[in-house]
Amino acid sequence: MSVNLPSPLFGAVEAGGTKFVCAVGRGPDDLPAVTRFPTTTPEETLARTLAFFREQPTTPVAVGVGSFGPVDPDPHSPTYGHITLTPKPRWSNVDVAGALREGLGVPVAFDTDVNAAGLGEHRWGAAQGLDTFLYLTVGTGIGGGGLAGGRPMHGLVHPEMGHIFVPRAPGDTFAGACPFHGDCLEGMASGSALEARWGRPAAELPADDPAWPLEAHYLAYGIANFILTLSPQRIIVGGGVMRRPRLLPMIRQKVKTILNGYVKAPTFDDLDAYLVPPALGDRAGVLGALAMAQELA
């Protein structure tokens, strides 16, 4: 007589600067519980996270966290799993992974929000089978992560791709909205930058607004630089700003113009399959955190 043991439940936390998303489950079609709540103080936010997992019928066997940052994703470091020196008030030096590990008594995997989303797309979405790809998010800020040669991108700290510098559009005199760099990519093309430049949120700008060709200029130069630096097999572009329907096609066209035939690969004849939206949509982050927990177990 055989006994069918239920497959274990895993936990996932998408720790965003604006909201936390927590889930338990086994994959995109098996998420029995999901919750989201605003990011307030570390104490309150981590307490709500712990409460969510504790109220589940069974405790998850491991938890994955994809976090806003900057973070310390180095498992050999004494501050592994911490948010480090973030401009977000009260969140500097907060041990997110430690709070969950101690509070739940289970192992916790920890990485950047964008590496987590990239892992989600790698496991179940638009990056399946690839070993070098990027996941970019263009929202309140701009960030990038993914795999290089099959490994999550870390290095000295972790990439801060949103802050690279690209050429200005001709005649553009906007000073930029990044408190560190002014007119870096995030300072010119993030949701915050759009709102600072045009006086209203990106979602409220009309489809024919001159904001959009300019937005495509900056994002296309950023993406061209990432292509030339990393040679990714595919780039997934998500985030709130990318919900604008005509934006991704405009970016594809501009990237082709910028590269001017220099990168020779069949996929560059038509960037429709190269520059793509996340197959998992808004769930890439939390599902990536789930994949991280599963890899840990």
Contact residues toward a second copy (CB under 8 A) are 70, 84-85, 132, 144, 148-161, 163-168, 180-181, 183, 221, 224-226, 228-233, 258-265, 267
When the beta carbons of 61 and 157 are compared against a second copy, the nearer one is 157
Pairing label, strands 142-148, 151-152:
antiparallel
Distances (CA, A) of 174 to 32, 129, 168, 186, 199: 47, 41, 9, 13, 12
Q: Sign of the C-alpha dihedral, residues 34, 115, 167, 225?
A: negative
Secondary structure percentages of the chain, helix, strand, coil, to 5: 40, 20, 40
State the angle between helix axes of 211-230 and 191-198 in degrees (0 to 180), rounded to the nearest 10: 150
When the beta carbons of 64 and 144 are compared against a second copy, the nearer one is 144
Tell the smallest beta-carbon distance from residue 90 to a second copy (Å).
Answer: 18
Tell the smallest beta-carbon distance from residue 110 to a second copy (Å).
Answer: 16
Tell the smallest beta-carbon distance from residue 281 to a second copy (Å).
Answer: 25
Give the per-residue SS3 of 149-162: CCEECCCCCCCCHH
Tell the smallest beta-carbon distance from residue 218 to a second copy (Å).
Answer: 11
Classify residue 163 as exposed, middle or buried by CB count within 10 Å of its CB (0-12, 13-18, 19+). middle
Tell the smallest beta-carbon distance from residue 158 to a second copy (Å).
Answer: 6
When the beta carbons of 199 and 264 are compared against a second copy, the nearer one is 264
When the beta carbons of 13 and 116 are compared against a second copy, the nearer one is 116
Q: Which residue has the tokens 């994002």?
A: 219
When the beta carbons of 100 and 114 are compared against a second copy, the nearer one is 114
